[in-house]
Amino acid sequence: MLTVETRHAIDPDAAKRMDTAELRRNFHLGELFRDGEIRLVYTHYDRMIVGGAVPAGAPLTLDHVKECGTASILDRREMAIVNVGEAGTVAAGGVTHALDRGDVLYLPLGSGPVTLDGKGRFYLLSAPAHRVHPARLIRLDEAAVVKLGAAETSNDRTIYQFVHPAVMTSCQLVVGYTRLHNGSVWNTMPAHLHDRRMEAYLYFDMKPEQRVFHFMGRPDETRHLVMKNEDAVVSPPWSIHCGAGTGSYTFIWAMAGDNVDYKDVEMVAMEDLR
């Protein structure tokens, strides 16, 4: 079963007038993972697609998506798939890839239908592409690793870069994830902006009772969304994107836009946050 929802782009002046329900309706992406379903959100932020697929004992095939305007979803797109569940497989382009928990699969433009199977819970990310790069399965020990923060500032974390220039070449997708270590809860703080790229977060590795407060909005007009396990959020280019949790967690970050430069950001001074 395939479900597709469309989210239109929202400007910062409109966002600052929204109440909690409106903010969640426009930026929060919930219930992406349902047994036996593929659930996609087609966003108008750099045409990024964010979604989830849970085979739950029977294969699921992702092929035609009306919103893309092509016969098959990857006819003019690339895709990254992150397995946040148990072992599973993804078949595309005549090759079957075995993904363990935490593995990331990159599929290029023209890969054809994508079939997902096994016990995996697959997080799907797709953006328009202009050329073909090799498909690649990237395991955790192949990711580029960056350590940031400190226990003293409650943001001791390790960043794993998968679909990233330090590891491989893509058209515009940049994907990785960040793990907060025990006792640390703050991610991406100090905050920053990147006007040339949008971003999406998926929070996972959380206990059912845990929550993350995801901060968004202009630096001088901040808002927050309360996130539970496997909730996602879309971050417009004009918005900060940072958060703090009630315990340690992991989040997947994915970007699309004008470049793939992970460091192309505008830092926000703490005194400028409101």
Confidence band for 262, pLDDT divided at 50, 70 and 90: confident
Average pLDDT taken over every residue of the chain: 97
Domain count, the chain: 1
Q: Please give the annotated binding residues, written as ranges.
A: 192, 194, 199, 241
pLDDT at 216: 98
Tokens 């016969």 belong to residue: 71
Q: Please give the annotated binding residues for Zn(2+), written as ranges.
A: 192, 194, 199, 241
pLDDT at 116: 98
Is the per-residue pLDDT at 263 higher than 90?
A: no
- Quick one: average pLDDT of 190-215? 96
Whole domain around residue 133: which residue ranges? 2-272
CATH of residue 131: 2.60.120.10
pLDDT at 177: 96
- Whether the CA torsion 66, 54, 248, 176 is positive or negative: it is negative
- Quick one: average pLDDT of 169-182? 97
| Residues 5-19: tens digit of each pLDDT | 999 999 999 999 999
Is the per-residue pLDDT at 189 higher than 90?
A: no
| Residues 104-159: tens digit of each pLDDT | 999 999 999 999 999 999 999 999 999 999 999 999 999 999 999 999 999 999 99
Alpha helices in 211-257 (DSSP H): none
Measured CA distances, 71 to 43, 62, 115, 212, 255 (Å): 19, 11, 16, 38, 25
0.95 surpassed by pTM: yes
Query: Is there a contact between 156 and 180 (Cβ–Cβ < 8 Å)?
Result: yes
